Amino acid sequence: MSSTRSPHLRFGLIFAALAFILDQVTKWVITVPLSLEPKGQIEVVSFFNLTWAENCGISLSMFASCTDTTRWTLVAVTGLVAAAVAIWMTREQAKGDVIALAMILGGALGNIVDRVRFGYVVDFADLHFGDFRPFMIFNVADACITLGVLLLVARALLLGEKAATTDGKPSAE
């Protein structure tokens, strides 16, 4: 990773802002026009529901505790992660990695805003096949974070060997 400024930084920041806005708009639709909380659940199609869930923990509702201490600790930790991702994004030369980092940054910021405003993260996307649920109930921010991490891992695994075999210079894809 180079210490020079990423040529894709502006694009990355716009992409992160779009991920953040999409997350917040979908949560607004869920909480205001659809008023999902009092309804609990709306079936969209046979394998996808909008289901109200308040996530006081982190991924997969781990460390769930709806205390003020947990709330502000998670805001601080997530804020530090977001700051580290933003710094990484300013230095990353590969456009694909900048996109992945932007997704993680936008998602993290969306969940931070929820935790500050409500004390929990609003989750609502409930994908299921009968009783089988491949994921916990999630939101757009969670999807962005997950896809961003998977993209970083895939690029590292698939392009790592390619970058190592070129003349010692990482590609700036």
Decide: residue 105, CB within 10 A, 0-12 exposed, 13-18 middle, 19+ buried: buried
- Catalytic, 123? Answer yes
User: End-to-end distance of the chain based on CA atoms, in angstroms?
Assistant: 13
Which member of 68, 123, 126, 131 is catalytic? 123
Catalytic residue among 23, 114, 126, 142: 142
68 is catalytic: no
**Residue 98 in contact with residue 112, Cβ under 8 Å?**
no
Which residues are designated catalytic? 123, 142
